[in-house]
Amino acid sequence: MYKGGYTQNNENGGGGLNGTVTGNVEIRTQFYANDTQINAQVPPERISLNGFANVNYTLWKFTAGVRFESYLPVLLGYPQRFDGTGIGYRYIKFQDKNISVTAGTFYEQFGSGMILRAYEDRNLGIDNAIDGFRIKYSPYKGINLKGVYGKQRFRFEDQIIKGDGVVRGFDAEISFNQMIPKIAETKWRFELGGSFVSKYQADNNPSLILPENVGAYGGRLTLGYGGFLFTGEYIHKENDPSFDNDYRNDFKYIYKNGDGIYLTGSYSTKGLGINIQAKSLSNMSMRSDRNAINTDLMISYLPALTKTHTYALASSIYPYATVPYGEVSFQADVIYTFKKKSKIGGKYGMTISANYSVNFDVNRYELNDLDGSRRGYVTKPFDAKWDSLFYQDFNIEIKRKINSTFKFNVNYFFFQFNPIANKVTEYKKLITSHVAVLDMTFKLAKKVYLRTELQGMFTHKDVDDPSKLQDRGHWFAGLVELTFSPHWTLSGLYQWNFGNNDAEVRKVHYIMGSFSYIKNGMRFSLDVGRQRAGFFCAGGICRLVPAATGVTFTFTASF
């Protein structure tokens, strides 16, 4: 029988046991063409492939799964530590009423992830899965315990290559609403949680005495009443000398402890949502290998308090990534929906959302101890260096449906970006830019839709040379997308750096055409054209995308 999976009846001892197979497949292959105008990268092998297939089988209380992966070779812009073809993920899990045991590869998160997050983000090229054992146990309703022990996935060379460090962790969470029925009957919500994570890595440094066991611990609280909700988490990390300590290019391998605080307050009611967040980080990066760089072997996940933008110019020209050695961040969101048939809302209503986020460096009180304890400096929670701005983002969006055939979004973004914090450009000074977006959707016929985007980015003049614009100057982007629902989509994307100070760059036009077809859980897509160099970011982590010209084919399916 086939219904969202393959179910097999297994006659065993006269009884029937139903086994179910589920999974998904993704294949992405790209052909690279020469394009000297944009300095397009062309690898020795002109065609690259990233592919994987997950297969999971569930029978009675057991589930087992594998993921077959291929990088032949890996697409440009993805970590070059991915190479070859083979099994990249495999596990077996036993699940009973109140206990779950997993052996093999798994993903896990404690709290917000500041202390531990093993996860996969294929678009970023991140896969720091833990290979070992995990136990989940609920001894009583509302009490959830988790324990993990293993090594992290580091590279893939025809098989999983794990890092040297060992990761151990324990997490406990109590939901009083589930545990005490009388609380569940009220408007109150009350949860407590705590975590401990440690790593072990042998000390092979001949110059320093490095701690081989490093621990981190902390707690979290969720408290709500009606439409109000507060969550808070604090994590303390013991001294962990590594490359990530380096905040001024000469402070690698210092013995300073780390601290992280993450606070969120929200209120929601019909038509209105308000969310306020605050974060303070100091030396909070934690990896299972102290020598790892980029996105390798991360244990801690440090989310950026910035809105995740979807429009090209707002999301990829000056993206912000969390500064692990220290930052103080604040963010506020307000969403309001005007009622249908009101004077402002009109027939279909109207939604306005505003977001503001700001990130600063932290004040460091430096210590003259590099020949002794090597702590380097001390910090205080939320002690921001107010005159050292890392990033500022104010944006507002208006969504309005005019009639049954036309709706639109209008967006405005104001950015200030410090390249010292995130090195996405060679420009050394603060960059101020404004982005405007008009997004319109037209219903041309039954199941036929036309969507268009017009985007513009405008930077300020250089303070030292007013005849030039800051960094790369102004950008324009346009998108036309035609959808024949539910199967066919055709689109064209155009981008132009028309305000660049370099006249040769202004001559470059980035044009990309796309086609996709969807049916029965399968999707085929074809992209042809130019891809500009830039950054793809998600959750405060970024991946460099090189300039390329060519053809990309993608196939995905689930079963």
Is residue 343 pLDDT above 90, yes or no? Answer: no
Residue 546 lies in a domain: yes
**What's the pTM?**
0.91
Per-residue confidence at 2, pLDDT binned at 50, 70, 90? very low
- Chain-centroid distance, C-alpha 54: 21
Residue 408 lies in a domain: yes
Quote the number of domains for the chain. 1
Report yes or no: 395 and 355 within 8 Å, Cβ to Cβ.
yes
Q: How far apart are CA 118 and CA 556, in angstroms?
A: 24
| Per-residue tokens: 321 | 């990534």
Q: How far apart are CA 251 and CA 512, in angstroms?
A: 44
Residue 336 lies in a domain: yes
Residue 66 lies in a domain: no
Residue 56 lies in a domain: no
Residue 246 lies in a domain: yes
Within 226-316, strands assigned E span: 228-237, 258-269, 272-282
Q: Is 506 helix (H, G, I), strand (E, B) or coil?
A: helix
Residue 195: other Cβ atoms inside 10 A: 22
Q: How far apart are CA 47 and CA 41, in angstroms?
A: 12
Q: What is the CA radius of gyration of the chain?
A: 26
Domain range enclosing 262: 27-49+174-558
DSSP 8-state secondary structure symbol assigned to residue 271? T
Q: What is the pLDDT of residue 248?
A: 67
Is residue 412 pLDDT above 80, yes or no? Answer: yes
Residue 469 lies in a domain: yes
Q: How far apart are CA 169 and CA 154, in angstroms?
A: 19
Q: How far apart are CA 346 and CA 399, in angstroms?
A: 12
Averaged pLDDT score across all residues of the chain: 92
**Residue range 400-425: average pLDDT?**
94
| Residue 402 identity (one-letter amino acid) | I
| Per-residue tokens: 94 | 């036993």
DSSP labels, 148-165: EEEEEEEEEESSEEEEEE
Residue 501 lies in a domain: yes
Dump pLDDT digits (tens) for 72-120. 999 998 988 899 999 999 999 999 999 999 999 999 999 999 999 999 9
Per-residue confidence at 173, pLDDT binned at 50, 70, 90? very high
